[in-house]
Amino acid sequence: MTSTAVAKKPLRQVANIRELLVNDQARGQLELVAAKHMNPNRMMRTVANAIRTTPRLQECEPMSFLGALMTCAALGLEPNTPLGHAYLVPFKNNKKKVTEVQLIVGYKGFIDLAWRTGKLTYIHADVAYSDDPLWDYEHGSDAHLRHRSGPRKGEKLAAYCHIKVDLGGGREGESFAVLDWEDVIGVRDKSQGWKTAVQYGTTKKSPWATHEDRMAAKTAVRALANAGGMPMSVEFVDAMMADDAVPDFSAFATDPEGGIVVEGEVTEEDDKPEPEPEPKKKAPKKAPSKKPAKPARAVETTSLDETALDALKSLVVQVVDELRGCDDAGKIEEVRELFAPQVDGLKEGAPKLWDEIEEATDQARERVAAK
């Protein structure tokens, strides 16, 4: 088949990754979701280089591959480059009998997304060692974190993320998260990627083995975000959802407007016979309700994965705290405008959290009006 014919092929008929990289419709899907600073042509070239270094990517199901690539484009992160923003990893899903793509967002990717909020003046994530000349931190009224790296050959003590935030008016806030090393290892052991590596005896190839400090730093960045100490954009939350989860990338490639849907954990176990369902008990009949049924919401917060939900809740806490500190109507509107990109996405995706922000806004307006 000629290259022109492959380029004009309907997307669903693309047979492999090589055809995908020159397919016009695939490029169009990338352009549809790509962040403003992302170039779809450069993305395709980047992925072609990634395939040379990781040949197993060629085995991936094309739509899964495209969906993962589109997710990177939407987040504005280049995959499989020295930037270390994100990585596309081939993943054998024995349950579906196909090789899919797993997206791993690097700690540099999360830091880049954090910078894009425009609220940070400083961010650093690292690992503290027992042979570092300075490692000291304290929470409370005299909160501080100080670290000076040493030879980095001693025992690993903790991972941390330390940020400073522009509060406006020349004011600067400070926040940090510290995880003892045993807690870092606990996060690693619970991650789907590590469990799969253990199951298949590939732990030596896992990012936790090849780039342990970077993975630990990323864990600290995410911990700070989950604790509500990190300014977050919608892209940051999306990255947390996609990272180390099992999004249905094929569905996203087909229907970008439907957003990224997380399927749940992939166990990579061989297919097992489904257990026989227990017979359902008949529910007692109820009298028909006279009230009209309420229209169902498209997505409730309970449908989000736990990490993403924690991140969204942290965002709400941050916005509500800002609103409570407003002493005039102008500042209330400034807060709403500042967080508009993040908050607007809650209206459809997490309506209960949206309602909390609306209620906090109304209370702030009433408080200011009563002065």
Model confidence at 273: pLDDT above 50: no
Model confidence at 290: pLDDT above 50: no
Residues 11-35 pLDDT 10s: 888 888 989 988 899 888 888 888 8
Asked if residue 78 and residue 8 are part of one domain, the reply reads: yes
Asked if residue 206 and residue 137 are part of one domain, the reply reads: yes
Asked if residue 225 and residue 123 are part of one domain, the reply reads: yes
Q: Please report whether residue 11 resides in a domain.
A: yes
Asked if residue 74 and residue 15 are part of one domain, the reply reads: yes
Residue 252 vs residues 66, 217, 322: alpha-carbon distances, Å: 9, 29, 34
Q: Provide the strand spans (E) within the chain.
A: 86-93, 98-105, 120-129, 134-138, 144-148, 156-168, 171-180
Model confidence at 294: pLDDT above 70: no
Asked if residue 252 and residue 222 are part of one domain, the reply reads: no
Q: Please report whether residue 80 resides in a domain.
A: yes
Does residue 100 sit in helix, strand or coil? strand
Model confidence at 163: pLDDT above 80: yes
Asked if residue 214 and residue 138 are part of one domain, the reply reads: yes
Q: Please report whether residue 267 resides in a domain.
A: no
DSSP 153-164: -S-EEEEEEEEE
pLDDT at 8: 87
Higher pLDDT, 264 or 366: 366
Domain housing 213: 118-231
Asked if residue 338 and residue 312 are part of one domain, the reply reads: yes
pLDDT at 246: 66
Residues 91-124 pLDDT 10s: 777 778 888 888 889 889 999 999 998 889 999 9
Q: Please report whether residue 338 resides in a domain.
A: yes
pLDDT at 267: 39
Residues 66-83 pLDDT 10s: 999 999 999 999 988 888
Does residue 179 sit in helix, strand or coil? strand
The secondary structure of residue 33, as a DSSP letter, is H
The total number of structural domains in the chain stands at 3
Model confidence at 207: pLDDT above 60: yes
Asked if residue 125 and residue 95 are part of one domain, the reply reads: no
CA separation for the pair 97, 45 (Å, rounded): 28
Q: Please report whether residue 207 resides in a domain.
A: yes
pTM here is 0.66
Backbone φ and ψ for 25, nearest 5 degrees, come out as -70, -35
Asked if residue 248 and residue 99 are part of one domain, the reply reads: yes
Q: Please report whether residue 285 resides in a domain.
A: no
CA separation for the pair 358, 320 (Å, rounded): 9
Q: Are 264 and 192 in contact (CB under 8 A)?
A: no
Q: Please report whether residue 186 resides in a domain.
A: yes
CA separation for the pair 109, 12 (Å, rounded): 31
